[in-house]
Amino acid sequence: MTELESQLMTVGLSSTEARLYLAGLAHTGVGVHQLAKETAIKRPTVYHALETLIQKGLVSKSGTGARRLFHMSHPEHVKQLLDQKITQLQEHKKGIDVLLPLLLQRVSHPQGQAMEVMQYEGIEGIKMVVEEALYCKSRHWDIMAPRKNFFSEFDKAYAHYYVSSRKQRKITSRSLWEKTIGQKNDSSTQKPPLETLKERNPRFLPQVMQGKFTSVMILFDDKVAFISSYETLSAVLIHSKEIHQFMANMFEGIWSISEPV
C-alpha cells in the first residue's frame, strides 16, 4: 500500500477504491479492462468499486457497453468528500450529545463499587480503549511504551488518525520510551521533530527496563489502560482512583530516574 492510498483511506475510501482512483487519474477516460490490468484487481470488484466511487462523487462515466469509459473527478473533490464526512460526524455528535445523558441515567452503579475492569479483544476493542483515552477530561496522559508496540505495528491509516486526533484534542503527555538498541542521547543521533518532543515530553526508560515489556500503559483521569502488542491484540481498562493513584506513583518514580531525550 502506498502513502497516497493510505491518505485516501483516511477520508473514507476503501483500499480498492483508492487504488482505482489513483490509477484512473492518469487517464482522461479509462475502461474497466484497462483498470483491472493496471491494478491487478478482478473485473467484478472493479465494477463494484467504480459504482461506489460514483456515489461518492469521485467518478463519472460516459458511453455504453464496451465503449463505456470512467472519468476520475478532479482531486479537489477529495476535499469535498472529507468536508461531507466532517459534516456527517458533526451531526452524529449532536445526536450523541442528546443521547448520552439518557444512557447515563440507565447505568447501574452498585453501592460501594470502587473499581471497574473491562477487557477488550481484537483491533476494534483496542480502538475503543484508545477512544476512551483520547476523550479524557484532563487531556493529559502519562504513557509508557516499548519501542515496538500496537501503534507502531498497525496500519498507517489508523496511525494517522491516532496522531491527528491527539493533536486535535490537544492531548499533552509525559512519555516514557524504550531506547532503541545502540541509541545515544547526543547530537549525533537523529532526534524526533521538535513538535513531537514538545507534545510527547519524552524520556528514555532506565536500562534495566529495556526489552522487558511489550504492552503500552496510559494513565488518564482516574483510569489506567493497558494495550497489548499487535501480536496479542487485547486491552484492559481499569477505572479506579486507587489503582490509578498507585500506578501514577510508580510512573512518577520511574520518570524521576529516566533520561531526558
User: From the CA atom positions of the chain, what is the Rg in Å?
Assistant: 23
DSSP for 105-116, written as a single string? TT----TT---E
Mean pLDDT throughout 45-57? Answer: 92
Report the C-alpha gap between 93 and 52 in whole angstroms. 25
Mean pLDDT throughout 32-49? Answer: 94
Contact assessment for residue 191 and residue 221, using Cβ atoms and an 8 Å cutoff: no
116-180+194-260 CATH, one of 3.30.870.10, 3.40.50.920, 1.10.10.10, 2.60.120.560: 3.30.870.10
Residue 17 in this model has a pLDDT that exceeds 90:
yes
pLDDT value of residue 187 = 42
Weakest-pLDDT range from 8-17, 75-84, 229-238, 241-250: 75-84
Mean pLDDT throughout 199-222? Answer: 91
Using pLDDT thresholds of 50, 70 and 90, give the confidence band for residue 171.
Answer: very high
Using pLDDT thresholds of 50, 70 and 90, give the confidence band for residue 186.
Answer: very low
Whole-number percent of the chain with pLDDT over 70: 88
End-to-end CA distance of the chain: 32
Whole-number percent of the chain with pLDDT over 90: 48
pLDDT value of residue 107 = 61
Instruction: Provide the phi-psi class of 211: left if phi over 0, else alpha when psi is between -120 and 50, else beta.
Output: left
Residue 191 in this model has a pLDDT that exceeds 80:
no
Residue 42 in this model has a pLDDT that exceeds 80:
yes
CATH number of 3-76: 1.10.10.10
Mean pLDDT of the chain: 85
Residue 29 in this model has a pLDDT that exceeds 60:
yes
DSSP for 121-180, written as a single string? EHHHHHHHHHHHHHT-SS-EEEEEE-SS-HHHHS-HHHHHHHHHHHHHTT-EEEEEEPPP
Mean pLDDT throughout 186-205? Answer: 68
CA nearest neighbour of 121 among 218, 235, 239, 231: 235
CA nearest neighbour of 43 among 55, 59, 32, 31: 32
Domain ranges of the chain: 3-76, 116-180+194-260
Length of the chain: 261
Residue 113 in this model has a pLDDT that exceeds 70:
no
pLDDT value of residue 196 = 65
Q: Which 3 state secondary structure label does DSSP give 30?
A: strand
Using pLDDT thresholds of 50, 70 and 90, give the confidence band for residue 47.
Answer: very high
Report the C-alpha gap between 94 and 163 in whole angstroms. 24
Neighbours of 13 (CB within 10 A): 24
Weakest-pLDDT range from 37-51, 83-97, 120-134, 210-224: 83-97
H-helix segments, the chain? 3-10, 15-24, 32-39, 43-55, 76-104, 122-134, 150-153, 156-168, 194-200, 241-256
Report the C-alpha gap between 76 and 108 in whole angstroms. 49
